[in-house]
Structure formats: C-alpha cells, structure tokens
Amino acid sequence: MAKPGSPLAAEDEVEAERVDTPAVVTTLPGAGGPVVKVLGRVEIVGAHGPRPASHRRITEVIAYLAMNPGGDDKAFSAAIFPGEEIGPKLSHKRQTYMNTARRWLGRTPDGHPYVAEVDDAGYRVTADVRLDWHHLQALIGHDIAKANDEALHEALTLVTETPFSGVDPTRWDWASSDISEICATVADIAHELATRALRTGDSRTAAWAAAKGLLAEPVSEVLWRDQITAAWASGSPGRARTAITDARTALEPLGDDLEETTVNLINDVISQERRHA
C-alpha cells in the first residue's frame, strides 16, 4: 500500500479489491454498449469489465466524460480534482482514473475502448456509450409542446428517482447546472403530459406524470396542482385529501404563502368534497 499523498496512492484508491457482483443491466433502446444513468440514482450499467472498488468515484469520471465530451486536461482536472495543484502528481492521478474507467467499461466488439484514448478530440467516451439524459432529449426534441404523448410517456419512464441521486454531496460541483436543467426539463415534461391527460379524462396518467415530475421538482406548485386535480378527477375523495396533505407537507416548510391558484384549487376540492359527502 502506498503512503497517503504519494503518486501511487491514486492507484491504490482505484485499484483496491474489486467487487465482482455485476450491476443489474437496464439498457436503452438501441444501446449496444454501456449506459450512463443520471435520471435517478447515478450508475453505470452494461460495463464489460470488472467494477473497481472505487466505483462511485469512477462513476463520476464516466458521467463527466459522457456529459462533457471533448474537454482538455485542465477542464477534466478542474471538474474531477477541484482545487488540486497542477503538476506531475495530478497528471499521474488523472491518468490512473482514466485507465480505471477504461478497464471498467471495457471494449467495443471491434476492440476499441469505450473510454477513448485521449487525443486531439479530448477526453470522452465513444458514441457507443449511451446517456439516459441524451435519450430523453432526443425523445422530446426542441419543443416539449410538439412531442407526442408516447414520447413524453417514454421520457418520464426514464426517471426512476430524483435525478443524480446517491452522489457524494462534497463532489459533483461540475454537474450543478446540468442537474438544474435536467430537473426543470423533467418537471416541464411531466406537467405537459399531466395537462394533456386531464383534458382527456385520464386521471391515472395525469397522477403518474405529476408524481414523476415531483421526483425532480418536489416543491413545484404547478405539479402539486396537477396531482391534486388528478386525484379529485379519479372520483376518490380520499385520494384528493391525501394529495392536499402531501402538498402542504412538501410546500409549507418553505415558509412562503401558497400561490393563489393553489389555494383556490384546494378550497374548491374541499368544498366539492363536502357537497358530495
């Protein structure tokens, strides 16, 4: 074992005893290689090599490469090793992490590494490595309002938990703007599908869509209104009561007054519930 702080310590950090239990593979349509998942708990599925003991750290490396292809040494180091001094020690550490990521993902059927060798194209993974966020973007296109219902539904099925769940809160600063964009997009998709479903009387889909959106934006009053409306439209007053209680539990700790539209909806649902009691 190398002494802490020595150049070989980085190798010890990522080359410790390996965990042989494979991850459950949940792939994307048309994916022939590994998949990087960020629309829930962050994980790498479908890797061809053994998972390193430091898989959480190397997962961050792979996610960074998938989301920020083409960066140079400085950009990579600033993201993955923020605040560390530039020099031979950092260069060695950077190379160690890249080699470990390369071994974990493995090689394409024609023998090329999924984590590309660094050249003029910069730090990156190959196009064979799929990112669920990119797949969601491809499904909805540039205008959510123009995407069909099936595409919106498929996009939301990719959301399994709060995006970027399970990451080390002391790291991943490089992803902060990405996380904000992803969560906002998921919320917009959810609201669009819930609105369409409510128009056609499909309260079940509306409630499902709102719940998916609330995974990304748990204090969105728009989505809570969708959830309450869907619950009332289901014909079960108890569901509407539960949705109202859940909304208040999520929103009231913020300390702000509920929006007038939300208050009016809650009062309207409670009033109708009393009339039908």
Strand partners, 19: 51
In the block, which residue shows the tokens 């950009």? 75
pLDDT of residue 257: 86
Q: Would you state the pLDDT for residue 27? A: 63
Average pLDDT for 172-199: 98
Pairing of strands 130-131, 43-45: unpaired
Per DSSP, 18 falls in state P
CA 104 to CA 102: how far, in whole Å? Answer: 5
The per-residue pLDDT for 29 is 73
pLDDT at 236: 83
Q: Please report the pLDDT score of residue 30 as a whole number.
A: 64
Q: Report which secondary-structure segment, H or E, holds 197.
A: helix 176-199
Helix residue spans in 81-175 (DSSP H) = 88-105, 132-140, 149-157
The mean-pLDDT minimum among 1-15, 230-244, 258-272 falls in 1-15
8 Å CB contact between 125 and 115 = yes
Residue 141 has pLDDT above 80, yes or no: yes
Lowest-confidence range among 29-33, 68-72, 146-150, 195-199?
Answer: 29-33
Q: In terms of Cα–Cα distance, which of 69, 172, 191 is closest to 119? A: 69
Instruction: Say if CB 12 and CB 156 are below 8 A apart.
Output: no
pLDDT digits (tens, 9 = 90+) for 18-75: 333 333 335 677 667 999 999 999 999 999 999 999 999 999 999 999 999 999 999 9
Task: Determine the Cα–Cα distance for residues 201 and 209; give it in Å rounded to an integer.
Answer: 14
State the pLDDT confidence band at 9, using cuts at 50, 70 and 90: very low
Highest CATH level, class, for 170-276:
mainly alpha
Q: Extract the tokens encoding 92.
A: 């060695």
Spell out the domain ranges in the chain.
Answer: 1-140, 170-276
Check: CB of residue 192 under 8 Å from CB of residue 208: no
Question: How many angstroms separate the CA atoms of 206 and 219, rounded?
Answer: 17
Q: Are 105 and 113 in contact (CB under 8 A)?
A: yes
Tell me the three state secondary structure of residue 165.
strand
Higher pLDDT: 21 or 8? It is 8
Q: Please tell me what DSSP assigns to residue 68.
A: S
Task: Tell me if 23 sits within 8 A of 43, measured CB to CB.
Answer: yes
Half-sphere exposure of 194 (CA within 13 A, CB side): 27
